[in-house]
Structure 1
Amino acid sequence: MEYLNDMALFVEVVKMRGFRGAAESLGMPNSTLSRRISGLEKAIGLRLLHRTTRKIELTEAGQLYFERCKRIVEEARLAHEQLGEMLARPSGLLRASLPVDFATIYLAPLIAEFAHEYPGISFEFDLTPRQVDLISDPVDVVIRMGEPPDSNLIARKLASLQRGLYASHRYLELFGEPDHPSQLTDHECLRMRGPGADLWTLSSAAGNEQVTVGGRFELNSVGMLRRLASLDLGIALLPAGIAAQDVSNGTLQRVLPQWQASPVSVYALTETRLLPAKTQRFIEFLRDKLECV
């Protein structure tokens, strides 16, 4: 049974990428934690970690042991949690990776509401567009816009966000308002960087139109697209919820309102279907709220 406790300690050390962070998370002395892991290696008869003054690295045996232990520890914790009050009133630290602009503009009010509803949960957010490794990074859930990559991760769809064209009143006064998607070729179009950035497909009751667009700005931030559009620099293709505040205050207006692009999906990605209550409630809450948009 001591092995089970030491497995949990080992998993935390790997997740936190070091003894100091793990010791703080576990509320135990660094020296005690190091001694327990050394004892575990001695009992197994294999070195699990390469230790340096700056970081730790898993050995080949350590990587295999971590992958097995992580699931064992997680399932043991879930067995306790799902039988207790925590399922109804979850607590603990929720680590989530969120897309910067979507989180700042769209998710922040929902997160505030969730935090009020579940006061026992504390939060650690990593706002980044980078690909997160749910096995080695200390993250419980990743929220991403767009179709998820093919992988072994579990993807749960949270929402489909409607997208339309938006521009400032000043830009439209200067350059005119298009009456048909084909006229977008005569405009500055603010584009998200990536495959197909210059080819916009729009649909209406009249059918579908594909138009090749151009302009001086191509970037990887939907928040920056929204900001540049509000500064009279062109027409942007944005999720309606992202543009809603600017439309409400008159900074932006809908262009070609009868036309829209295909919705952009929002997904929650996790390593496993077996989720602790805090993560499960967070995903369910976001799905319920985002389904309304």
Structure 2
Amino acid sequence: MAIFARVVDEGSFRGAARSLGVSPSRISETVTELENYLGTTLLYRTTRKISLTNEGRVFYARAVDMVRSAEIGLNELNALSLEPVGALKISIPAFMSSSKLLTAMGEFAKLHPHVALTISSSDVPVDLIEGGYDLSIRIGWLSDSPMMSRRLGHLNRALVSGSDYAASRPTPNHPNDLESWDWISYAQRSDAIAFMNGEKEVVRVAGQNQIQVDNIESLQHLIRQNLGIAVVPKFVVEEHLTSGSLVKLIPEWRLKPLGVFAVWPDQARRENLTVLFVRFLAENFEGDSLAGFVAGNSRRFHHD
């Protein structure tokens, strides 16, 4: 019944399969078994869409009531129980897949063996509602939104290049010296990068780029190929900076750190479990030092 309700909510077997993390064939078989058990057709199926039969409309309303009651029951159970139970579907940026944040999620799973975590990684922002996610980790700064959110920490950034590329250019002393350099663009970030010095002077540099990518792994790979410069989260390239294959440019100029936020729907299906999980991440994720920056409580979200 829950799967049938999800098919109607998503508008297709494929959409329901994507949100539940199972194959479309499994979804189709389950709905067919339900129809056979009830002895009636619940859904009209065409190659383009599905629609409810009269019987399906009546049954869908009851199925939704059942799902809501079950979710309320799980929330109440988790509020009272010392051992939480349930499942959470989480979206994280792909470049955080080997970070301390994922380590904290693993520690949560160890502590709570009756909680199932489905973790999806993508540097492209996802739609929580459409994707059926209970929680998303966002990097940047939050804009006004009906979503609930909690700041987990910060990530420092660095402007880097391959050592050979840097050696082929005059040593830059000011951000404006980098305008003519080759920049590798990151699709989720604005073109202009803001630099600050010790006197709070802000300089924005757009640069020029031949290549644009949509994930950090590709970005750092191309930097190591000496194809240009880019701003990246510092922890991603720390090893290469230590080895000398990458170098940090104009280190006396600072870049604003990135906020790390947990974001979830205001009417979360697993509210108590989600809040428990977010609280654990906030207490156990060790982000970078702010290094002199003072973070506000703004809910504005953007990549700078």
Query: Among 108, 124, 127, which residue is 1:114 paired with?
Result: 108
Q: Give the C-alpha shift of residue 278 in structure 1.
A: 4.3
Please tell me whether residue 166 in structure 1 is matched to residue 160 in structure 2.
yes
Other-structure match for 1:77: 74
Contact 1:94–1:121 under 8 Å retained in 2: yes
The 1-side partners of 2:128 and 2:244 are apart by: 41
Contact 1:165–1:254 under 8 Å retained in 2: yes
Distance 1:281 1:168, change over 3 A: farther
The 2-side partners of 1:222 and 1:258 are apart by: 24
Q: Give the C-alpha shift of residue 129 in structure 1.
A: 4.1
Q: Give the C-alpha shift of residue 250 in structure 1.
A: 3.2
Other-structure match for 2:197: 204
Please show how residues 218-257 of structure 1 align to structure 2 within 5 Å.
218-257=212-251
The 1-side partners of 2:143 and 2:227 are apart by: 32
Aligned residues: 273
The 2-side partners of 1:31 and 1:61 are apart by: 16
Instruction: Note the alpha carbon deviations across 1:91-136, whole angstroms, 9 max, x for none.
Output: 4433112222233456443333333333333332222345544334
Please show how residues 27-38 of structure 1 align to structure 2 within 5 Å.
33-34=34-35
What amino acid maps onto 2:113 in structure 1?
P
Distance 1:214 1:138, change over 3 A: same
Pairwise CA RMSD = 4.0
Instruction: Note the alpha carbon deviations across 1:146-178, whole angstroms, 9 max, x for none.
Output: 344654322322223222211222222222431
The 2-side partners of 1:166 and 1:96 are apart by: 31
Please show how residues 57-68 of structure 1 align to structure 2 within 5 Å.
65=61
The 2-side partners of 1:268 and 1:36 are apart by: 41
Name the TM-score, length of structure 2 as normaliser.
0.70
Name the TM-score, length of structure 1 as normaliser.
0.73
Contact 1:23–1:30 under 8 Å retained in 2: no
Query: Among 282, 287, 290, which residue is 2:277 paired with?
Result: 282
The 1-side partners of 2:171 and 2:39 are apart by: 70
Please show how residues 135-150 of structure 1 align to structure 2 within 5 Å.
135-148=129-142, 150=144
Instruction: Note the alpha carbon deviations across 1:4-33, whole angstroms, 9 max, x for none.
Output: xx6x575456578269979989xxx76664
Contact 1:10–1:37 under 8 Å retained in 2: no
Other-structure match for 2:119: 125
Q: Percent identity?
A: 24
Contact 2:101–2:285 under 8 Å retained in 1: no
Contact 1:17–1:55 under 8 Å retained in 2: no
Unaligned runs of 5+ in 2: 289-304
The 2-side partners of 1:37 and 1:106 are apart by: 49
Instruction: Note the alpha carbon deviations across 1:220-256, whole angstroms, 9 max, x for none.
Output: 2222222222222222111222222322343323221
* Structure number having the greater helix percentage: 1
SS in 1 for 2:171: coil
The 1-side partners of 2:132 and 2:213 are apart by: 29
The 1-side partners of 2:52 and 2:261 are apart by: 30
Q: Give the C-alpha shift of residue 72 in structure 1.
A: 4.5
Q: Give the C-alpha shift of residue 277 in structure 1.
A: 4.9
The 2-side partners of 1:58 and 1:265 are apart by: 44
Please tell me whether residue 185 in structure 1 is matched to residue 188 in structure 2.
no
Distance 1:146 1:61, change over 3 A: farther
Please tell me whether residue 17 in structure 1 is matched to residue 11 in structure 2.
no
Distance 1:91 1:238, change over 3 A: same
Unaligned runs of 5+ in 1: 1-5, 42-46
The 2-side partners of 1:58 and 1:135 are apart by: 22
Other-structure match for 1:3: none
Query: Among 255, 258, 272, which residue is 2:252 paired with?
Result: 258
